[in-house]
Structure 1
Amino acid sequence: MSGRADSDTDPEIAGPETAVEQDDSEEPPEQDGAEDRPQDARRARWTAAGTGAALTLAGLAAALLRLTGSAPALVPAAYAAGAAVCAAAAVLGSRGRTRRALWLLIGGAMVMAVGDQFD
């Protein structure tokens, strides 16, 4: 190995001894993604809010079904508690706190899953 940089290395990274001359005749298209960021953020908020609402409804429906059956009282309570956590995640997701909403969705689904194990 000669320690020489590749010819396609960016001149800012390569250093002064291996700087590669660039041809300025063709300008590459702007691809910084700045125009997509608001759409990505909006999509993340809608996804978090929609998933939270769907898991909330599923948890409440499961709690009502288990409440009418012969399951122990801990099972519908766990479903209701998980649904409440998912509802909080939906609210946080709609306000833009999508990372926290994701963790609350995971936690709420886990509470519901653990509660289901008591049946």
Structure 2
Amino acid sequence: MSGRADSDTPAAISPAPMSSTDGTEVAAHGARGAREAPEDHGWVEDGRPEGVSVARRTRWTAAGTGVLLTAAGLAASLLRLTDAAPGRVPAAYAAGAVVCACAAALGQRGRTRRALWLLVAGVMMMALGDQPG
């Protein structure tokens, strides 16, 4: 099953046509195969709905942020390892980097909310692990 709706919707439950400002009727979902103008109904210039490009940008943002924070955490872990810091500090940075790497993988797969929370958790692990005391 592809999850697509049946194309033969009975007339009793199909959406009613909407009226436009000039008095003509417009179908609720548009004609099959018809392209709408980019400025009209949230379509971008390449013919895809606007939500598709927003979802792609969100995935790339989550993945890119995860990779960036992973690299920063690993670099900080290596720098603190060469310092005279206690052993828990580089371990906290490394553990936070691992969590951020998991967030990058989730973000690339489209699980952006979970990726956001993992990024927050990873950065908190790094920040709290470097606290004195």
Q: TM-score, normalised by structure 2?
A: 0.67
Aligned AA for 2:21? D
Counterpart for residue 43 of structure 1:
57
Deviation at 1:35, TM superposition (A): 1.0
Larger relative contact order (CA 8 Å, sep ≥ 6):
1
Divergent runs of 4+, >6 A: none
Q: Deviations over 1:14-54 (max 9, x none)?
A: xxxxxxxx873178x73356711110000000000000000
Higher helix share: 1
Aligned residues: 97
Output the CA distance in 1 between the equivalents of 2:57 and 2:84.
41
Is the CA contact 1:72–1:118 (under 8 Å) kept in the aligned structure 2? Answer: no
Q: Deviations over 1:49-85 (max 9, x none)?
A: 0000000000000000000110000000000000000
Aligned pairs (5 A) from 1:72-111? 72-111=86-125
Counterpart of 1:89, as a letter, is A
The runs of 5 or more residues in structure 2 that have no matched partner are 1-18, 25-38
Percent identity reads 61
Larger Rg: 1
Contact 2:42 2:50 in 1 (8 A): no
List alignment gaps of at least 5 residues for structure 1.
1-21
